Structure 1
Amino acid sequence: MSNWVAGLEAVLSVQVLLFIVLGLVIGIVVGALPGISATVGVAVLLPFTFTLEPLTGMMLLLGIYGGAVYAGSIPAILIRAPGTPASAASVLDGHEMTKKGEASQALTISVIASCVGGLLGVIALGLFAPALAGFALSFGPAEYFMLAVLALTVVASVAENNIVKGLLAGVLGFAIAMIGFDTIQAFPRFTFGTTNLAAGIQFIPVMIGLFAVSEALLQFERRQSISLTERIISRFRPTFGWFKKLVPSSLLSSAIGFIVGVIPGTGGDIASFVAYNESKRFARGEKQFGEGDPRGVSSAEAAKNAGTAGALVPMLTLGIPGDVTSAILIGAITVHGLRPGPGLFTGSPDLVYGIFIGFFVAYLILLVIGLAGIKVWVKSIQAVPTQYLWPTVMVLSVIGAYALRANPFDVFVMLFFGVVGYFMIKGGFPVAPLIIGLILGPIAESGYRRTMLINDGSFAWLLQPIPLVLLILTLLSIAFSVSRTFRRSG
């Protein structure tokens, strides 16, 4: 209890609270710009924390982290251009709601579910961090491979209306992930002798191209702007029944998001799609996921924000980053002469428990800012003249792709996959499975090859407890998706 009191006293200072708010505001701006991910925002602001107290600096960066992960869904919902990779799943139902004139409702769901997932994730972080970190440490290559295979079954559920096209898109994403240096033997693959391809295809330019640029091309073809009518900014008042409908998906997705986030190397990108898949699996009612179902938005939003808290578990207790952003946060701690790990809990309890409490407070503040800003987000899009809206999206997409590594090649990658996404949509191929395959491909390949090397080519590892459980869940997932598709077609 004394540690919690020390953490609370550290957080309840004017300076810390001001930097939390500042971080949230910066994070919202960063996240709302397509391609400028939370990682970029945290990395850019990292040097400014070197002269601050450790907790103050960490809360500035965590504010940016949480704010950017939430705000990435604003352009995803309004203009089908995810601001951050973790917001890609929010496009599926969020933008469909916008096209129905329900953008205000979608944005309301986004901020509420984001904060619910974040708050529940932080509570779980504070209560179960040491035990969950120990569980994540038990994951070896076999467990990582089977986890990736289980997550890849999301492809079938995301594209239930056409499983074959969905699987083809997923395989294409997996193939793209193979470009670059081999993860085991370090020899170049599919690079055609070019240095740029040797570094692999970066995820963010691909995502921007598939979602934002392809949509802009479609709108140019139709010679019309996104349908931002007065219906979008019509007043939306949540009711008790509305909350009741979204509670199950939000709670389930928060739990899934946190658990997936604890596993190093995953983060909110994978967590949002896995949670979306599971919520869709157990959905009931007339509306279907992918067609503007509010539960799809709430599941993706809750999971990705709970995943941010989950990613801090291995970072704080083991010194192992849960995702790319938490790797930068490790640098923010070590620059002050501190070392993440078990010793941090005993040597600097005010910092650790201050992070727990401060991150919780950040989501409470984010809830207020997000709800107050819904009309601002929509009106800011409407303020752009219709003839300039999609050219503006294209310009922001170029900036976002270039900002990743300051490499013009990433801009060409973005434009190329914009054209690929355009033809995929025209041909009825879903783009989400390609993204999923691109994310999970390296995890699956590395895990499988390392496992086979360790076991001398034997498949006996499939009988180990965790891989066996994951295999059973994978088979059940595939069987459920196929049977549901047959029921619909029948």
Structure 2
Amino acid sequence: MDLLSNLALGFSIALSPYTLLLAVIGCFLGTIIGALPGLGPSNGVAILIPITFTMGFDATQALVLLTSVYYGAMYGGRISSILLNIPGDEPALMTTLDGYPMAKQGRAGDALVISGVASFVGAFVATIFLMLLAPYIARLAYKFGPAEYFALYLLAFATLGGIASNNQAKAAMASFIGLAIAMIGQGSGGTPRFTFGNLHLMDGIDFLVAIVGLFAIAEVFVFIESHGKSSSIGVKLDKVRVPWSDLKDSSGTMMRGSLIGFVAGVLPGAGASLGSFLAYMAEKSWLGSKGRFGTGDPRGVAAPEAGNNAAAGGALIPMLTLGVPGSGTTAVLLALLMTLNITPGPTLFTDNPEVVWGLIATLLIANFVLLAMNVPMVKVFVRILMVPPAILLPGVTMISFVGIYSLTGSYFDLLLMVGFGVMGWLFRKLDIPTVPVILGILLGTAMEDALRRAMTLSDGDVSYLFGSPIAIGLWVFAIAGFIAPLYLRTVMKKPQAISD
């Protein structure tokens, strides 16, 4: 009965005209953002965060808009992957392996429809599991003390760093940089730390300034450097029809990919990229010689799209129930909630049930909106790929500057945002992941507080950090999560070699 009453509360919020409008706008914008190569959900959500403050949205409205953008971007990433052989974002990489060959065979429309339906199945399955499992995980979180939370934060850094980069040392360095930035400002005793006498730094670094700089402004610099020319469609899109036989053959693939992707998404830091990869590899192994993976097999399009969209939904569970982001995009959403004085974690379900259940109900509706958009309107989104950077870049820059200034009213924060943009651009060139930096800024203070409370309760006894089965389990998973990618990269071939 609790589930039904909570859903009734959620749908009473989601079905209000204004919330529905925000969901539709978010789905549309997200699909556009996902279709544009290089932007991706993290950048798209970061760019739009300032708008939520300038428009005066409350927590539920802001979260509905940005999670709809998140889901829409996961849908849209497949468009440029199939037509241009350029992934709209990292999770869409696996879609290029069979999507682009299908397009070259004159089946671009079929590939787009199959990928759209697979995205719907993956996202819908993940939302159902989110609805069923999140309350129970939230109850489990009540058993967490400072030692367990410290181990949980460590797990988030270990797994996110392991997946976010091909170099563990670079990922670890990025995490330390983020933690160091989080230390700037006043300590628990009011003592200034790393402010160098600058009064603007006394309150610390606003993580929204860092996020918009590292994602949005850095992307502008990258576009200026590497995308100076207008985009163009690599494969012509003719008639779009619904390939019923291929959809029937791919139905089992979609369900298997959705389950695999959801599990990958729930793991803190694993996210959509791992979900997409595992779904593709598992389906290739499952079909064996029956599949034509790498040469234009529709199931090779359905598997990764179901996997990455299911992982996107699964990543919301640790963010909402434990306050630990499950992916780079949910790290940005976590920053939004913290800015709105909403504390993610087990108390969120009791203190702000309208936020959680309004979000879940909206996501259920948004999935159908996205399916309706991404099949009949696919030609509209394809046209958007032709928007030249000369038009796109000024818009992104304007939104970032106006939004941050309206939020903080400080010219220093604008300079700081540009500085983070330069930092993000340099990190891209050096192949250093930026997501661990954001995670360090977001969780650094909470991780420090958990460690301080643990040491206070234990009178400085370090063994207290390993004093419960939950804490020990989290430490084991953290170590395994950091070491496992090292092993997997030596066993698994690069994605380009999968089609051999």
What is the TM-score when the length of structure 2 is the normalising length?
0.66
The answer to whether the aligner puts 1:482 opposite 2:480 as a matched pair is no
Once the 2 structures are TM-superposed, how far is the Cα of residue 308 of structure 1 from its aligned partner? 4.7
Find the aligned partners of 2:406 and 2:112 in 1 and give their Cα distance: 27
Counterpart position of 2:52: 41
The answer to whether the aligner puts 1:68 opposite 2:76 as a matched pair is no
- Secondary structure of 1:409's counterpart equals helix
Worse-matched range after superposition: 130-139 or 398-407: 398-407
State the Cα RMSD in Å: 5.1
Once the 2 structures are TM-superposed, how far is the Cα of residue 353 of structure 1 from its aligned partner? 8.2
Q: 1:467 to 1:27 in 2, by over 3 A?
A: same
Instruction: Check the 8 A contact 2:279/2:307 in 1, yes or no.
Output: no
Letter in 2 for 1:92: E
Of 422, 432, 441 in structure 2, the residue corresponding to residue 419 of structure 1 is 422
Once the 2 structures are TM-superposed, how far is the Cα of residue 396 of structure 1 from its aligned partner? 3.1
The answer to whether the aligner puts 1:432 opposite 2:423 as a matched pair is no
Counterpart position of 1:188: 192
- Percent of residue pairs identical: 27
Report matched runs for 1:306-317 at 5 Å.
Answer: 306-308=314-316
Which 5+ residue runs of structure 1 have no aligned equivalent? Answer: 50-57, 80-88, 261-270, 316-321, 332-338
Counterpart position of 2:173: 168
Find the aligned partners of 1:280 and 1:152 in 2 and give their Cα distance: 21
Worse-matched range after superposition: 108-117 or 136-145: 108-117
Instruction: Check the 8 A contact 2:22/2:65 in 1, yes or no.
Output: yes
1:197-233 Cα deviation digits (max 9, x unpaired): 2232233332333333333323433472364424386
Letter in 1 for 2:169: V
The answer to whether the aligner puts 1:457 opposite 2:460 as a matched pair is yes
Letter in 1 for 2:90: L
Counterpart position of 2:217: 213
Which 5+ residue runs of structure 2 have no aligned equivalent? Answer: 34-43, 81-86, 285-292, 295-299, 324-332, 494-500
Counterpart position of 1:123: 128
Instruction: Check the 8 A contact 2:233/2:385 in 1, yes or no.
Output: no
Q: 1:386 to 1:324 in 2, by over 3 A?
A: closer
Report matched runs for 1:3-402 at 5 Å.
Answer: 4=4, 16=15, 18-28=17-27, 35-37=46-48, 41=52, 44=55, 46=57, 63-64=64-65, 66-71=67-72, 91-94=89-92, 116=121, 119-120=124-125, 122-124=127-129, 126-128=131-133, 131-158=136-163, 161-182=166-187, 184-222=188-226, 224-225=228-229, 227-231=231-235, 239-240=246-247, 247-255=255-263, 257=265, 273-274=270-271, 276=273, 284=281, 301-308=309-316, 323=334, 360-382=364-386, 384-402=387-405
1:70-125 Cα deviation digits (max 9, x unpaired): 2455898899xxxxxxxxx9843448979997999999799767755654455345
Counterpart position of 1:319: none
Q: 1:327 to 1:433 in 2, by over 3 A?
A: closer
1:376-425 Cα deviation digits (max 9, x unpaired): 3442352x344333333333332344354343333222211221222222
1:289-338 Cα deviation digits (max 9, x unpaired): xxx999777655434434557766799xxxxxx9566679999xxxxxxx
Letter in 1 for 2:479: L
- Secondary structure of 1:161's counterpart equals coil
Find the aligned partners of 1:425 and 1:343 in 2 and give their Cα distance: 40
Instruction: Check the 8 A contact 1:209/1:414 in 2, yes or no.
Output: yes
Q: 1:71 to 1:415 in 2, by over 3 A?
A: farther
Of 436, 442, 447 in structure 2, the residue corresponding to residue 444 of structure 1 is 447
Counterpart position of 1:54: none
Find the aligned partners of 2:237 and 2:433 in 1 and give their Cα distance: 29
Q: 1:308 to 1:250 in 2, by over 3 A?
A: same
Q: 1:232 to 1:251 in 2, by over 3 A?
A: farther
Report the number of matched residues.
Answer: 437
Letter in 1 for 2:26: G
1:43-89 Cα deviation digits (max 9, x unpaired): 84547x9xxxxxxxx7x67743542332455898899xxxxxxxxx9
